Structure 1
């Protein structure tokens, strides 16, 4: 089953400001996670199976897996690379 992707406006603004490569890396992570959120992510702190992280290259995102709604919500984005 495929999860829908949700970006709150402020997080999407962060996404738009990332360098091209970081946007691509994050997009790959999120598309993969839509098909298998648990298999394509790592626990964020305590593994509750709901709040997870995805990462590739120099970009990381915290996602919320809505199992009942089949929605992945991007809660935060961190970029540790050079612009």
Structure 2
């Protein structure tokens, strides 16, 4: 299981999402923490480190550090 991290500014964006989008993102991030490469897509060059989680109304850009078993949320974009 990977540890999820984000800074306070990202947490504020997450908290500001509409309820349904916030819940979908939370559930999807649980799955990401179990298997980040299987549940995300490459972001740019497929380096296995910078990934994107694409949902119907939200895209999260993630940094996966396999050696430390961490996933850091770098950016959240609400599409709806």
Shift of 1:62: 0.4
Gaps of 5+ in 1: none
- CA distance in 2 between partners of 1:55 and 1:32 (Å): 13
Gaps of 5+ in 2: none
Determine which structure has the larger helix proportion and give its number: 2
Matched, 1:65 2:29: no
Q: Which residue of 2 aligns with 1:17?
A: 16
Runs in 1 of length 4+ with deviation above 6 angstroms? Answer: none
Could you tell me the TM-score, scaled by structure 1's length?
0.92
Shift of 1:56: 1.6
Could you tell me the TM-score, scaled by structure 2's length?
0.96
* Coordinate RMSD, CA, aligned: 0.7
